Structure 1
Amino acid sequence: MFNQYVPPAYIEKLIHSAKGTELKTERREMSVLFADIRNFTTLSEQFTPEELSDFLKEYLTQATGIIFENKGTIDKYVGDMVMAFWNAPLEDADHALNAVVSALNIITLTETLTPIFLAKKWPAIRVGIGISTGDMVVGDMGSNYRKAYTVLGDAVNLGSRIESLTKYYGVDILITNSTYNAILSKGIICRKIDKIRVKGQKAVVDVYEPLGFNHQLDDMTLKVLDMHHDALNKYLAGNWQESQALFIKLKQNTYLSTIIYDIYLARIETMANKQNIKDWDGVYSHESK
């Protein structure tokens, strides 16, 4: 049964570990991933029920394989959405890194599947992924009638919230600052996207877009990335004119996605029309989930 939740290679280790197969509820630092197909409701209308089942099976099987290859545990599928977590049931010191690598590989998977799907007269897919790292409660949860091995906590909810924001920012992946800090020394280059407060939570969180390992990025991408962070730092410091000029330049780049720059230019225009802005902290509060 557990073969459907964790990589098969883990089962032998689990059985022979000191914990045996006990799935008691416990609190530990973990990473959680949410991956959702964009505009799935519209896409699903193009399929017969049988075609939709085949479409989802092909994508979900390969996405799950990627998660398993990187030591992840499947929590659940909800239609087209995949939820997975790392560092349970067995310990994984690199849980944040393995979650981010899984996300990058899932995005590569969607690019690989595009010509295959088009050949079958299926639509191409885009996926949005959110990853959060933090304290979570994991274990068997539910009722006397039905239980699930799952995770709960504010960090879990945050992962779901930032996944829904990938479309808003025009990026494929968003990770929290906790995840970013955990992979900082692992060679993955990230673009800082925003300083936000999500609906339903009071905490302020920085969100980042993982771009890939350092050796995978060319010099021009890194140069544009430096300009991006310069512009963002000026924006967060309230230097509207300087950040505006840089964001206008960045809109013309072909190395990084550019929807984010329209967002910042619109915010700057709004700020410029306000007088005596007090207590500016750069935080943007999202009012929708």
Structure 2
Amino acid sequence: MAYKIVTETLEQERSANRKSRNRSPQPKKNMTPSLSNDRHFERGARSILLRLAVFIILAANVLIGKGAGAEGYRFAVVIFYLAISIASVAHARFLPGRFRLKTLLVILDALLVALILHADILGGPTKGSHAVATTSLIVAFILLSDVGLTLQRRLVLVFSGIVLCAWAGMLAVVAARQPIAETAPFFAFVLNQDLGLIVSYGFTAFATYLLAKDHDRTRKEALLANRQRLNLSRFFSPLVVADLQEGSAALELERRNAVIMFVDLRDFTRFAETAPTRELASVLAHYRHLVSGTIFSHGGTVDKFIGDGVMAVFGQPKPMKDDADRALACALELVHALSNWKHQNSVAGLPAMNAGIGLHYGSVVGGILDSGCHSEFTVIGDAVNVAQRLEALTKNLSSPLVVSAALVKQLRQPAPPALWTMKNDVALAGRRLPIDIWYLQTEADDNGPPEETAQPGGAKTVLQRPSIPSPPFAAPEVGVADFPAR
């Protein structure tokens, strides 16, 4: 039951995230079906306009055409074409994915053109001075354009192949019917006009085929690139995925300053030892989804997952001036989100685990680290170790968040309101030099009176002790402490 509740909660959150992304002005992959439908609608509208033009031409040909006994033939052609057009529009509207049905309709269009050509070439007495009527040429080219709008090279090949074969076959029949004495003048006429029309139509069809083929290749390349991006996004953050696809120089191994974040669940190991496999996987997946989504929304990258631990980086592969501000905002949002998640687990009957977050700003070596058979995009250096040690301090301090003074000094904007406590010269395991830290005080903080408690953004200190210094926060007046803005 608990597993079901957590799973439903996760699905609801994912659904809410998808809706929020769809409301964003930035293009997202969730908007792809909508854009595809818009393009499909535009192509359908153009196809209807072209078919309407052909219908008007054929109807006018019936009304103003001349020739004994030809009116019935022309009228039958119009009815045949109208039936094909209705079927084509219905197919595009209700059955757009049925390729075989579309192929059949294209074949019928080609046969219609053949019937129109037949009326001009073989519909009357065979003469060497015959010529294809303008109506036939216009209809043939318009319907070729209509097929070309599908951007499917097979349909273009089928349509143009039938029309050209029928056209050439009719001319061959006319040539066979000519008396031997008239053969030479007939071939001279064919080479001057009819053959030129066939060649022109053939070149147009070939160009349309090449365009459709080029579009098909471009579409496949785009789908492949999108598939690769989706595969990469399973393992890398969005910023890293973009650089990987572009082959950016930012991925090269080099030293730079960055903010390192460590997030870890307390008592998760104890829970993992006895929890059912599916329940364990569900809780861990929900936790990772929550943490990584928050990190991505603030422009950070997830370096790696280590069991229930998450290592994130702000400023890698591309450092920005507000890396520290975004990292701190992300950490504070995570404190709130993970607190809500803990409450949801408690209601669902699952272990309500606390989380600890450590933040530090410092020099790292980041990029693609090649180790032979396996390459890794990561960061290494003392800053990573310090951030991990700060996260470990959260348990001893009963605090959800510990940040280093080095990170606070990099803040360019006042931090969001929160109750902070400062400690000087804190020793970290495995590190020779101590550092100054600030940690987030909660209502459950029972560690005794802090050295100094301050509300970022100008709130008065709780202890009101002006003799206590408050570096690195610059105190503009007695008892007031602010994050320094650079």
Match of 2:299 among 71, 83, 106: 71
Q: Give 1:202 shift.
A: 1.9
SS in 2 for 1:187: coil
One-letter amino acid of the structure 1 residue matched with residue 435 of structure 2: V
Q: Using the alignment, how far apart are the partners of 1:199 and 1:209 within structure 2? A: 18
In structure 2, the partner of 1:96 is 324
Quick check: which one's strand share is greater?
Answer: 1
From the superposition, tell whether residues 99 and 167 of structure 1 become closer, same or farther in structure 2 (CA, over 3 Å).
Answer: same
Q: Using the alignment, how far apart are the partners of 2:384 and 2:353 within structure 1? A: 25
One-letter amino acid of the structure 2 residue matched with residue 85 of structure 1: V
Q: Using the alignment, how far apart are the partners of 2:294 and 2:421 within structure 1? A: 23
Q: Using the alignment, how far apart are the partners of 2:388 and 2:248 within structure 1? A: 31
In structure 2, the partner of 1:161 is 389
| Match status 1:27 vs 2:255 | yes
Post-superposition CA distance 1:241-265 (Å, at most 9, x none): xxxxxxxxxxxxxxxxxxxxxxxxx
Match of 1:148 among 358, 373, 376: 376
One-letter amino acid of the structure 2 residue matched with residue 156 of structure 1: V
In structure 2, the partner of 1:206 is 436
SS in 2 for 1:227: coil
SS in 2 for 1:33: strand
From the superposition, tell whether residues 21 and 54 of structure 1 become closer, same or farther in structure 2 (CA, over 3 Å).
Answer: farther
Q: Give 1:97 shift.
A: 1.4
From the superposition, tell whether residues 226 and 100 of structure 1 become closer, same or farther in structure 2 (CA, over 3 Å).
Answer: same
One-letter amino acid of the structure 1 residue matched with residue 366 of structure 2: V
One-letter amino acid of the structure 2 residue matched with residue 141 of structure 1: L
From the superposition, tell whether residues 231 and 46 of structure 1 become closer, same or farther in structure 2 (CA, over 3 Å).
Answer: farther
Quick check: which one's helix share is greater?
Answer: 2
In structure 1, the partner of 2:113 is none
Contact in 2 for aligned 1:188/1:211 (Cα 8 Å): no
Contact in 1 for aligned 2:399/2:441 (Cα 8 Å): no
In structure 2, the partner of 1:278 is none
From the superposition, tell whether residues 155 and 70 of structure 1 become closer, same or farther in structure 2 (CA, over 3 Å).
Answer: same
SS in 2 for 1:61: helix
In structure 1, the partner of 2:176 is none
Contact in 2 for aligned 1:23/1:139 (Cα 8 Å): yes
One-letter amino acid of the structure 2 residue matched with residue 107 of structure 1: V
Count of residue correspondences? 226
| Match status 1:54 vs 2:282 | yes
Q: Using the alignment, how far apart are the partners of 1:142 and 1:228 within structure 2? A: 54
| Match status 1:8 vs 2:238 | yes
Contact in 1 for aligned 2:302/2:312 (Cα 8 Å): yes
Q: Give 1:154 shift.
A: 0.8
In structure 1, the partner of 2:8 is none
One-letter amino acid of the structure 1 residue matched with residue 407 of structure 2: T
In structure 2, the partner of 1:120 is 348
In structure 2, the partner of 1:261 is none
Q: How does 1:161-240 map to 2 (within 5 A)?
A: 161-183=389-411, 185-188=413-416, 190-210=420-440, 222-223=459-460, 225-227=461-463, 233=469
| Match status 1:107 vs 2:335 | yes
Q: Using the alignment, how far apart are the partners of 1:11 and 1:154 within structure 2? A: 26
Q: Give 1:21 shift.
A: 6.4
Contact in 1 for aligned 2:303/2:311 (Cα 8 Å): yes
Aligned residues: percent identity? 26
Contact in 1 for aligned 2:250/2:317 (Cα 8 Å): no
> Which of 142-151 and 2-11 deviates more?
2-11
Post-superposition CA distance 1:111-134 (Å, at most 9, x none): 221332234321112101111101
**Structure number, greater radius of gyration:** 2
Contact in 1 for aligned 2:255/2:363 (Cα 8 Å): yes
Contact in 2 for aligned 1:118/1:124 (Cα 8 Å): yes
From the superposition, tell whether residues 122 and 198 of structure 1 become closer, same or farther in structure 2 (CA, over 3 Å).
Answer: same
From the superposition, tell whether residues 176 and 5 of structure 1 become closer, same or farther in structure 2 (CA, over 3 Å).
Answer: farther
Q: Give 1:110 shift.
A: 1.6
When the two structures are superposed, what TM-score results if normalisation uses the length of structure 2? 0.42
When the two structures are superposed, what TM-score results if normalisation uses the length of structure 1? 0.69
| Match status 1:42 vs 2:278 | no
Which stretches in structure 2 are left out of the alignment for 5+ residues?
A: 1-230, 443-454, 471-486
Post-superposition CA distance 1:80-123 (Å, at most 9, x none): 00000011122322111111111111111122213322343211
Match of 2:360 among 118, 129, 132: 132
SS in 2 for 1:183: coil
From the superposition, tell whether residues 85 and 218 of structure 1 become closer, same or farther in structure 2 (CA, over 3 Å).
Answer: closer
Q: Using the alignment, how far apart are the partners of 1:228 and 1:44 within structure 2? A: 45
One-letter amino acid of the structure 1 residue matched with residue 332 of structure 2: L
Q: Using the alignment, how far apart are the partners of 1:101 and 1:135 within structure 2? A: 21
Q: Using the alignment, how far apart are the partners of 1:83 and 1:139 within structure 2? A: 15
Contact in 1 for aligned 2:325/2:415 (Cα 8 Å): no
One-letter amino acid of the structure 2 residue matched with residue 38 of structure 1: R
Contact in 2 for aligned 1:5/1:73 (Cα 8 Å): no
From the superposition, tell whether residues 175 and 6 of structure 1 become closer, same or farther in structure 2 (CA, over 3 Å).
Answer: same
Q: Using the alignment, how far apart are the partners of 1:57 and 1:203 within structure 2? A: 37
> Which of 142-151 and 195-204 deviates more?
195-204
| Match status 1:83 vs 2:311 | yes
Q: Using the alignment, how far apart are the partners of 1:209 and 1:128 within structure 2? A: 11
Q: Give 1:230 shift.
A: 5.2
